[in-house]
Amino acid sequence: TFRAFAVTLRRFFTSLFKGDIPTINYPEQSRPYSERFRGTHILTVRDDGSLKCVACYMCATICPAECIYIEAGEHPNPEIEKFPTRFDIDMMRCIYCGFCVDACPEEAIIMSREHHQSVYERFETIWGIEKLMARPAIDAKGPGYRPNRPMAEAKIFNKQEQQACPFPSHLEERHPAVLYESMIRRRG
């Protein structure tokens, strides 16, 4: 018991005088997240403000939690076959695996770095198109997980937004595909 008390006192005085405090004031301060951190979902838009989603149901089909619900409608633009009239994600069921992002052929759904979901009622965790299009603090935290990061970032953000982003992701050597290939070369 004395030994445990000595360890506690030693740690207390080390933290007190050296400033080596491991805790942070969370809402005001946050630790940096990994580049591949998968937070809440974001639906991306075209230059004209319409959704990029073509209602192909790939994300809903691949989702292991079956938390994505889509209803398709005819798009007024004849070049685009259909668009989602309803796109819901049940965030209580979502396991944040990122399969929906990987499956999307249009880069219409990405994951942000935001993970706060404080709600009072369960029905508030079902996010519709409006909430999914409200891009939560991308400029402050940088874009979240996407499989083809450099290619997708060129499509989603303009050059000014890319320069303002504190998380540079155009480093080709850190791209997941490049890392995977280098891992295979090391094994083989």
Task: Per-residue pLDDT tens, the chain, 188 aa: give them.
Answer: 789 999 999 888 887 777 666 777 777 877 777 777 888 888 888 888 888 899 999 999 999 999 999 999 998 888 888 999 999 999 999 999 889 998 988 888 988 877 778 899 999 999 999 988 876 555 555 566 666 555 545 554 545 544 544 444 444 444 455 555 555 566 55
Task: Report yes or no on 177 lying in a domain.
Answer: no
The confidence score (pLDDT) of residue 37 equals 81
Task: Report yes or no on 92 lying in a domain.
Answer: yes
The confidence score (pLDDT) of residue 183 equals 54
Task: Report yes or no on 21 lying in a domain.
Answer: no
DSSP type of residue 32: P
Measured CA to CA, the distance from residue 176 to residue 36 in angstroms comes to 9
Question: ∠53-56-60 over CA atoms, to 5°?
Answer: 95
CATH number at residue 116: 3.30.70.3270
Domain residues for the domain of 66 are 33-145
C-alpha radius of gyration, the chain, whole number: 21
For the chain, how many structural domains are there in total? Answer: 1
User: What tokens does 18 get?
Assistant: 């050296």
Measured CA to CA, the distance from residue 41 to residue 115 in angstroms comes to 9
Closest CA to 128 of 87, 96, 68: 87
Task: Report yes or no on 150 lying in a domain.
Answer: no
Query: Residue 28 phi/psi, 5° resolution?
Result: -80, -35
Task: Report yes or no on 41 lying in a domain.
Answer: yes
